Amino acid sequence: MHSNEQNSEPDRNQPVGLDIIIPMYNEEAVVDALMQTLLEVFSDSACRNSGIKSVHVIAVDDGSADATVPRLRAWMDRGVSMTILCLSRNFGQQNAFSAGMAHSRAQVCALMDADLQDPPALLLDMVRQWRAGQDIIYGRRMRRSAGLVKRMAYWSFYRIFNFLAEDKLPVDSGDFCLMDARALAAINSLPEVVRFPRGLRSWVGFRQAALPFDRPPRRSGSPKYTFRKLYNLAIDGFTSMSLRPLIAARIMAAVMAAGCALMLILMWGKRLLPGMLPDSNGGWTPLLLTVVLVALMAQLTGTYITGAYLSRAYIELKRRPPYIIARIFTSNDAAPDDNPQ
Ligand code: UDP
Ligand code: MG
């Protein structure tokens, strides 16, 4: 069991061990470029200058069916310090991150995508900011190289989210970040099964800073997020971070119910007054139809919102683990156990 008070204020002057957590789902096309880039960025001299005493990669294989794992193991055999967590099937990026986060033992850890859209060189800046006193440093995407529809979807997600959520999300921040063991322990201690890492990260507090960057295109391979997965991610975000949509549905239900009651009273009241009934030309029909359709729309929207919360609540209730690890490969040097939890 993790405890929030376990880790006291970290010593920011000593050289630190860094874990880099990377979820991978069928990323064989990018593994080599990724590892090459990591080796270049975290060269001996760069590490010395940044006060990084060791770098350990925690690659989480999220049920890949391609050669992702053999490619990773080849780099491990070549001496890269690495742990490969193989999940038993595809659990989704959020859960893959959670698996990696549960296995990090270094003083600081980073979360990044495999496709080099999160430039590893920025991690050095993040370590610098951590030394200057920040606890969590996250990348803020200024410009993205995605298609227009996807960019608009992302843009509106964060704005609608913050309009609706009690717990705000820093706009345009993804999962790319660096944090220390204390912040990580706090996130790991949160018990929910439906895990929205960037939301949990924002929720735990501590001193947080944004590092703006332009998001380059994926280096190679194809995007692994389908629209369905992105949509589910967005709904996971809403339901885990805010009750406001549910409250809005309740208010909407109350307003509509009152409206319908008023309409009924008017209708029957008028029926009681001869000559006030809608005429045979259907003077009232469009109005009535509008009312019925609006009420139906409100009802269905309410059902939709309640369904989204209910299904997540059901998943929480079942308490199934967010991921299952089938195999672990670890390089001989193993993860430096600087921060036993
Ligand atoms: N990913 C994963 N499981 C999934 C989908 C994606 O581990 O089910 C990983 C993927 O391998 C990559 C990261 O999540 O390292 C981001 O995926 P992608 O580049 O497709 O997302 P996008 O950049 O379009 O948001
Ligand atoms: Mg990507």
User: Above 60 in pLDDT, residue 217?
Assistant: yes
User: Above 80 in pLDDT, residue 137?
Assistant: yes
**Sign of the torsion formed by the C-alpha atoms of 165, 168, 172 and 173:** negative
Q: Which atom of ligand 1 is nearest to the CA of 60?
A: 7
339 Cα–ligand 2 center, Å: 30
User: Above 70 in pLDDT, residue 189?
Assistant: yes
Q: Which residue has the CA at smallest separation from atom 23 of ligand 1?
A: 223
Does the pTM surpass 0.85? The reply is: no
Among the listed ranges 143-157, 227-241, 292-306, which one has the minimum average pLDDT value?
143-157
Where in the chain are the domains? 4-226+321-330, 244-318
Burial category of 73 from C-beta neighbours within 10 Å (exposed 0-12, middle 13-18, buried 19 and up): middle
92 Cα–ligand 1 center, Å: 8
Residue to mutate (ligand 1; options 175, 215, 225; most atoms within 8 A of CB): 225
Per-residue pLDDT at 340: 41
Fold of 4-226+321-330: Spore Coat Polysaccharide Biosynthesis Protein SpsA; Chain A (3.90.550)
Residue to mutate (ligand 1; options 72, 87, 95, 224; most atoms within 8 A of CB): 224
User: Above 60 in pLDDT, residue 6?
Assistant: no
CA distance 20 to 255: 50
Q: Which atom of ligand 1 is nearest to the CA of 150?
A: 24
93 Cα–ligand 2 center, Å: 11
User: For residue 179, what are the contacts with CB-CB under 8 A and spacing of at least 6?
Assistant: 108, 109, 135, 136, 137, 187, 201, 206
**DSSP state letters, 189-203:** H---SS--HHHHHHH
User: Above 80 in pLDDT, residue 301?
Assistant: yes
Q: Ligand 1 pocket by C-beta < 6 Å: which residues?
A: 23-25, 27, 62, 90, 92-93, 96, 113-115, 117, 218, 223-225
Among the listed ranges 138-142, 159-163, 277-281, which one has the minimum average pLDDT value?
277-281
User: Above 70 in pLDDT, residue 336?
Assistant: no
The two three-digit tokens of residue 66, written as one number: 């391609």
236 Cα–ligand 1 center, Å: 16
* Orientation of helix 93-102 relative to helix 181-189, angle to 10°: 120
The two three-digit tokens of residue 290, written as one number: 């509008």
198 Cα–ligand 1 center, Å: 14
Q: Which atom of ligand 1 is nearest to the CA of 91?
A: 8
The two three-digit tokens of residue 10, written as one number: 């970290």
Percentage with pLDDT > 70 across the chain: 90
Helix (H, G, I), strand (E, B) or coil at 234: helix
**pLDDT tens, residue by residue, 25-72:** 999 999 999 999 999 999 999 999 999 999 999 999 999 999 999 999
User: Above 80 in pLDDT, residue 280?
Assistant: no
Looking at all shown ligands, the one closest to residue 62's CA atom is: 1
